[in-house]
Amino acid sequence: MKTKILVGTFFLSAAASLFSQLPTIVTEAPRIQFTETRAQLRELIPNLGDLEPDVGEEAQVIREKFQFRGHEFAMAYQFQRGQLYAWSGIASDLSLEAAIKLTDTLVPLFSKQFGPETQDILLPSEGDGPPLQVTNSFSWKVNGFPVNLQMGFSPTKGRVIFSSQRLYGSETLRITSTSVLKVEVVSYHGSRGEYRVEEDPSNEKEVYVLRELARRGVLGTLSNDPLQPPDYGQQISASGGRNPEAKTYRLEGFRVDFPITIFRTLPNESKVAETHFGMGSIFPEGLEFNGQKIDLKLYEDWRNDVPRRP
């Protein structure tokens, strides 16, 4: 009996030691609020590097590398308007054997720290074309935010990614009025209500894009019906805050979950369904706000139940 206890203690200690070799932002994930500035994040990660311009408007990134189990990971800490919104680590160009071994090492470490995992395997469809890629994903909820671990592999190579980001999609919107922008909101917990969207300089661009989407027929839906191609619905996922007493909604950000369908009635009264796979097809000429072109990809997301297109 004593031998068993000692062996168990040894393995628990070895797992804790191995977990501690991961970047601080992983081991301290329960402390991350996704409101941190670089200065605040440096209190947790003292050797954090400098911000660099990133793809997207008002976007910046801090990049660094680290070694784990003999493999190099590229870390990225992504900021939007000066606040952390995502972090990730990726090991690329791995052999299939190395990708599997890394995943088999990391999943139990994450599960020991963060609780039971949820697994999702995505197989490519025949129409996806090369490369033939299989994705094996694991996820945990840490401090209310998702932490994801993903292994992707083709016949020749694999990669392993772990990541976390600020939640989008905690609430679902349906636009009910555009003159005075009003939305019907269903929260993550299922509560529902109609609110007038507050607008001020900090979110006026998001409000503008939301109005432009409504003008083009994207109003959003409030239910996730079973997938019936080519009708993909119109899910608008948002983050914000509600004031039930004032019946106002403070919009902080949103994403449109693609693909979506827009139904139109032609002059001859026949109907047509347009299926869109990105903001670029809804706004082929792009959008400008205060004389500056908007990076519309910031407002895109992809439905979990539909294989992503290249």
287 pLDDT tier (thresholds 50, 70, 90): very high
pLDDT in tens, 19-52: 999 999 999 999 998 878 999 999 999 999 999 9
Percent of the chain residues topping a pLDDT of 70: 84
pLDDT at 125: 53
**8-17, 27-36, 124-133, 230-239: range with lowest mean pLDDT:** 124-133
* CA distances in angstroms from 9 to 107, 112, 247, 292, listed in the order given: 20, 14, 55, 59
* Cis bond before residue 131 (omega within 30° of 0): yes
Looking at the predicted structure, is the pLDDT value of residue 3 above 50?
no
Mode of pairing for the β-strands spanning 300-302 and 248-258: parallel
* CA distances in angstroms from 164 to 43, 84, 251, 273, listed in the order given: 19, 11, 22, 35
pTM over 0.75: no
At a CB cut-off of 8 Å and minimum separation 6, what does 275 contact? 230, 232, 259, 260, 261
Mean pLDDT of the region 87-103: 93
d(CA 98, CA 102): 6
* CA distances in angstroms from 53 to 63, 79, 85, 183, listed in the order given: 11, 10, 15, 34
Structure tokens at 79: 């900021």
- Residues comprising the chain, all counted: 310
Does residue 19 come out as left (phi exceeding 0), alpha (psi in the -120 to 50 range) or beta? Answer: alpha
- Indicate the DSSP class of residue 222: S
Residue with tokens 């909101």: 185
- Higher pLDDT: 14 or 109? It is 109
d(CA 33, CA 29): 9
State the distance between the two ends of the chain, measured CA to CA, in whole angstroms: 56
pLDDT in tens, 52-79: 998 766 789 999 999 999 999 999 999 9
pLDDT in tens, 180-230: 999 998 876 567 889 999 988 888 999 999 999 999 999 998 754 444 455
pLDDT in tens, 166-177: 765 568 899 999
Element (H, E) at 96: helix 96-114
Mode of pairing for the β-strands spanning 52-53 and 288-289: unpaired
At a CB cut-off of 8 Å and minimum separation 6, what does 207 contact? 181, 197, 199, 251
Helix axes 96-114, 2-19, angle to 10 degrees: 110
Structure tokens at 10: 């040894």
Mean pLDDT of the region 107-129: 78
8 pLDDT tier (thresholds 50, 70, 90): very low
**Bridge partners of residue 138, in order along the sequence:** 119, 149
128 pLDDT tier (thresholds 50, 70, 90): very low
Mean per-residue pLDDT over the chain, rounded: 84
